[in-house]
Amino acid sequence: MFKVQGTNDSSIVSKCSMAQLGYFKDEYLREFVSKLTRRAPLIHRGYYIRAKAIDHILRKFLSETAEPKQIISLGAGFDSAYFRLTAEQLLHGTSFVEVDYPEVVKRKHALIRRSETLARLIPGLDTPCDVSSPLIEINTSGYKLLGADLTQLNTLEALLKLCGVNLDTPTLLLSECVLTYMTRRCSTAVIKWAAETFTDAVFVLYEQINPDDAFGLVMQNHFHVIGSPLKCINSYPTLQSQRDRFKTAGWHTCQAMDMNQFYQTIIDAAERERIENLEPFDEYEEWNLKCAHYMVICGYNTDRQPLIQGPLQTVFNLEENTNSIIGITVDFLETSGDIQRFGHSSTALILSEPGTNISLEQPRANNSLDIPSRASNSFNDPPSCAWKDYDSQSGASNSFSDIRSGVDNLEINKATTDNISISDNVRTDNSAQETNSNGKIIIEDSHTKFRKDNSTDLQIPNYIVVFGGFGEKEGKHRRLVDFAVYNISTFQTFMLYPDVNPKEIEVSRMHDQACCLPDGTVILIGGRTSPVKLCTQLLKIEFLREFPTDSNSKNNISKDKVTRDKNIENNVSNKLNSDGERRNRNCTSESEKKDQDTCNKSEMLSERINSEFKGENSRDFSSVICTVLDQRGDVPCPRWRHTATLIKIDGKDYIFLYGGRTDRLLALGDAYVLDISTMTWTKITEPTKAELHPGKRHTHTATWWKDYVIITGGLNEDQMPISSIFMFHLPSNTWTIVLPMSPVLPRYSHTAHVVDDSLILIGGVNTHSLLTRCCCY
């Protein structure tokens, strides 16, 4: 009991912090808090949406219900709704009753008596009460404060009657994150008691749902650790199970929505924009996940206007599909705690083996995208495609049947493309080896095919490098400077530490983009160090491998968790020369690199990362060099959550940049091309308003396919997930929208991959449901 009371104390501090920042107007919360403590932006948003949902329902009930009426708050804690609504003169003809543990209401009574601001809002507070009971703290005509345990319903009902509560008066009963701490039997008993006891009632329940996904498991563990486990969430884990619970308990009708639905359908655009501008915020994934795990449900035992009715939302239904599916084998890399991070960027590094290329071919049949490599003046039918939705958990294949939400009604730009067609027939034969019509040997392993020939379709990378991000280092959460290197051949990982000052060289960044160039160097573009400090430097990362002549020399790579200084000493400080100076030192700019004799790599037996393997030490890198590149031309403004994609035009390599956001603009819709040979930016001419284009978006994906950049998903400037797919044809500078034959779930923070002529979307965040499926276009 006392642990649950502790959640009240923590909650009121968070609510007060949220109100102080201007999220929700409530000047009376301050009267219940002895010391102000500022919470994190994500916590502010969580309590904001909770306050808005309850406030919306209360105001709608008060405005649409004739007098007299009653509001009974079960487990009210230090809630200030009565004082706020009274100050706005919204409680005429309304009796407001608050119920909580006797110890809690005694503390609240004392705080009310101590505050002149609160006491003056309770008329008759000092008038002697005709009814005497140790469980009745305050009993006036408009406000009653009662001490009762909700598991003792007979005592609760007797107290209500003793205080003059009329069971036939229209009544709203509110439980705000209360019943979830009770057992399934006791909590459902409260819901059933209310339906049977009051003749005209609304029961409003706000609590957690979706306990079984990763976020839900962490959420459950959090409440377990603080000593207040969620005892009901696994019995009623979904919106539908909560609806069924209410109907079984005797409620005539009920409505339910999660907080993503509430935020998008009931809170208007102007209010959402106001919230975006209150304080720096860049936790959209966590925000949408949090909203997906809280819901509000209203049960009615009479016919009345719904209290949480918003614009109708599209429901996505999954249909069974009898086609075969691709089987995959999942291997887990051997990793350490050092690589746990988020908001990072990553890229694959390729060590070529002369004479042999290995390309990946998914088991597909008749799936092709026929698009000309150059634009034509003839207009054909608008692009369309069929797609498959692979359930990564159950192995079922599904297709969406209903119309998707999140896509504007756009006309088709019939400028540059032929039809896109993908068949629904997926082949998964189990033969171990076969020879196709071109004489290429196809070696199949667990339904994933590798083609070994002398073509240049796709090279399998040898390393995956993860840059920056946010994680734990030496017991503290911070932006990370180190690079995590995964060896795909050995399934081992190790860490590299650039020998630079992160205050001068922006290696410690989040939500940037990493592009691996053909020579094995990596370009880091954009990102941020905080939501108000954006990265302006264009960094080139070079990975060097040393083959020591001394057979007894120690391995340069640290594979154990040691201090940063020790790792830098092991990884970057190469052999000392006779003068006790380093032979090699990382450079910080191209001009310095040219001037410093210490950067003469001819003194080392080293090579670029994309060179041929040599010996057992081939996976160990002696150092990394970080170079700040000079940018020319139409240099784009600093941004993060953008895309940067390596592309090829007429045999020459470029980087295509699109979208993102800044500290002032919630989404960008501009595009640039970077000539990597001269580091010169060229801005793509923006389409006219009449032309179709992806518009402003961030946290989307951009994938290179033939002469096209394919843009999928993301968040728009209203921070709504979108599902539209666009292709940009570089030779003709033309955008074209792609219309799948079946609707696509809006998503962001996902990944997109082109395999052969198929576009595969994996994961992401969606406000309708959590994405557990892999979609193939």
Is residue 79 scored above 70 in pLDDT?
yes
> CA torsion sign, 502 to 503 to 504 to 507?
positive
Strands 470-473 and 476-479: antiparallel
Q: Which residues contact 432 (CB under 8 A, 6 or more apart)?
A: 443, 444
> Using 50, 70 and 90 to split pLDDT, how confident is the model at 691?
confident
Listed residues 270, 300, 330: the one ending a domain: 300
Q: How far apart are CA 449 and CA 756, in angstroms?
A: 12
30: left (phi over 0), alpha (psi -120 to 50) or beta: alpha
Q: Does 53 fall in a domain?
A: yes
Q: Any idea which residue has 């209010």 for tokens?
A: 271
Q: Where are the alpha helices (DSSP H) in 439-483?
A: none
Residues 121-142 have pLDDT tens digits of 999 999 887 778 899 999 999 9
pLDDT for the residue 379: 33
Burial 357-393 (b: 16+ CB within 10 A, else e): bebebbbbeebebebeeebeeeeeebbebbbbbbeee
Cα angle vertex 295, ends 294, 299, to 5°? 155
Q: Which residues contact 293 (CB under 8 A, 6 or more apart)?
A: 208, 209, 210, 215, 216, 219, 258
Q: Any idea which residue has 């790579």 for tokens?
A: 557
Count of alpha carbons within 13 angstroms of residue 555, beta-carbon side? 12
Same domain for 286 and 387? Answer: no
Q: Does 596 fall in a domain?
A: no
Give the orientation angle of helix 184-197 with respect to helix 153-162, to 10 degrees: 30
Cβ atoms of residues 159 and 133 within 8 Å: yes
From 492, 479, 484, select the one nearest 465 (Cα to Cα).
Answer: 484
Same domain for 296 and 372? Answer: no
Helix (H) or strand (E) run with residue 725 in it:
strand 725-729
Same domain for 139 and 232? Answer: yes
Cα 609–chain centre separation:
33
Same domain for 373 and 295? Answer: no
Q: Which residues contact 377 (CB under 8 A, 6 or more apart)?
A: none
Q: Does 761 fall in a domain?
A: yes
Cα angle vertex 141, ends 135, 142, to 5°? 95
Read off the pLDDT of each residue in 11-36 and give the average, rounded to a whole number: 95
Cβ atoms of residues 148 and 110 within 8 Å: no
Q: Which residue has the higher pLDDT, 609 or 127?
A: 127
Is residue 769 scored above 60 in pLDDT?
no
Cβ atoms of residues 524 and 509 within 8 Å: yes
Cα 417–chain centre separation:
33
Q: How far apart are CA 145 and CA 160, in angstroms?
A: 10
Strands 94-100 and 136-139: unpaired
Query: What's the count of helices (H) and strands (E) in the chain, helices before strands?
Result: 14, 44
From 136, 93, 142, select the one nearest 120 (Cα to Cα).
Answer: 142
Read off the pLDDT of each residue in 7-11 and give the average, rounded to a whole number: 76
Cβ atoms of residues 704 and 754 within 8 Å: yes
Same domain for 240 and 109? Answer: yes
Phi and psi angles of residue 243, each rounded to the nearest 5 degrees, phi first: -60, -45
Residues 51-64 have pLDDT tens digits of 999 999 999 999 99
Residues 729-756 have pLDDT tens digits of 988 889 999 888 777 889 999 999 888 8
Q: How far apart are CA 255 and CA 307, in angstroms?
A: 9
Q: Which has the minimum average pLDDT: 126-140, 266-280, 520-534? A: 126-140
> Using 50, 70 and 90 to split pLDDT, how confident is the model at 179?
very high
pLDDT for the residue 739: 86
Q: Which residues contact 221 (CB under 8 A, 6 or more apart)?
A: none
Same domain for 296 and 204? Answer: yes
Read off the pLDDT of each residue in 250-277 and give the average, rounded to a whole number: 95
Cβ atoms of residues 561 and 601 within 8 Å: no
pLDDT for the residue 218: 92
Q: Which residue has the higher pLDDT, 766 or 185?
A: 185
Q: Does 422 fall in a domain?
A: yes
Listed residues 300, 316, 340: the one ending a domain: 300
Is residue 443 scored above 50 in pLDDT?
no
Q: Which has the minimum average pLDDT: 196-200, 520-524, 613-617? A: 613-617
DSSP state string for 473-488: ETTEEEE---EEEEET
User: For the purposes of burial, counting CB atoms within 10 Å of the CB of 296, is it exposed (0-12), middle (13-18) or buried (19 or more)?
Assistant: buried
Q: Which residues contact 750 (CB under 8 A, 6 or more apart)?
A: 701, 712, 713, 761, 762, 763, 764, 765, 771
> If DSSP states are collapsed to H, E and C, what string results for 109-153?
HHHHHHCHHHHCCCCCCCCCCCCCCCCEEEECCCEEEEECCCCCH
Read off the pLDDT of each residue in 149-156 and give the average, rounded to a whole number: 97
Residues in the chain: 777
Q: Does 609 fall in a domain?
A: no
From 636, 638, 656, 668, select the one nearest 727 (Cα to Cα).
Answer: 656
Residues 368-411 have pLDDT tens digits of 323 233 333 333 344 445 445 544 444 444 332 332 333 333 33
Same domain for 205 and 128? Answer: yes
* pTM (two decimals): 0.73
Q: How far apart are CA 293 and CA 205, in angstroms?
A: 14
> If DSSP states are collapsed to H, E and C, what string results for 604-661?
CCEEECCCCCCCHHHHCCCEEEEEEECCEECCCCCCECCEEEEEEECCEEEEEEECCE
Joined tokens for residue 501: 């000052």
% the chain with pLDDT above 90: 54
Cβ atoms of residues 376 and 369 within 8 Å: no
Is residue 293 scored above 80 in pLDDT?
yes
Same domain for 260 and 409? Answer: no
Same domain for 177 and 74? Answer: yes
CATH of residue 87:
3.40.50.150
pLDDT for the residue 123: 96
Q: What's the domain count of the chain? A: 2
Is residue 355 scored above 90 in pLDDT?
no
User: For the purposes of burial, counting CB atoms within 10 Å of the CB of 53, is it exposed (0-12), middle (13-18) or buried (19 or more)?
Assistant: buried
Q: How far apart are CA 660 and CA 468, in angstroms?
A: 18
Listed residues 271, 300, 329: the one ending a domain: 300
Q: How far apart are CA 199 and CA 717, in angstroms?
A: 46
Same domain for 239 and 377? Answer: no
Same domain for 103 and 215? Answer: yes
Cβ atoms of residues 714 and 387 within 8 Å: no
> Using 50, 70 and 90 to split pLDDT, how confident is the model at 564?
very low
User: For the purposes of burial, counting CB atoms within 10 Å of the CB of 258, is it exposed (0-12), middle (13-18) or buried (19 or more)?
Assistant: buried
Read off the pLDDT of each residue in 537-541 and give the average, rounded to a whole number: 95
Q: Does 578 fall in a domain?
A: no
Q: Does 552 fall in a domain?
A: no
pLDDT for the residue 610: 33
> CA torsion sign, 20 to 25 to 26 to 27?
positive
SS3 at position 590: helix
Q: How far is CA 206 from CA 17, 99, 262, 752, in A?
A: 21, 16, 12, 36
Joined tokens for residue 718: 């209203």
Same domain for 288 and 379? Answer: no
> Using 50, 70 and 90 to split pLDDT, how confident is the model at 614?
very low
Dihedral angle over CA of 659, 664, 665, 666, nearest 10 = 90
Q: Which has the minimum average pLDDT: 175-189, 201-215, 342-356? A: 342-356
Residue 2: Cβ within 10 Å count: 9
User: Which residue range forms the structural domain that includes residue 194?
Assistant: 2-300
Within the chain, what is the greatest distance between any pair of CA atoms? Answer: 99
Q: How far apart are CA 233 and CA 557, in angstroms?
A: 47
pLDDT for the residue 21: 97
Q: Which residue has the higher pLDDT, 154 or 425?
A: 154
Q: Does 474 fall in a domain?
A: no
From 399, 418, 381, select the one nearest 743 (Cα to Cα).
Answer: 399
* Average pLDDT taken over every residue of the chain: 76
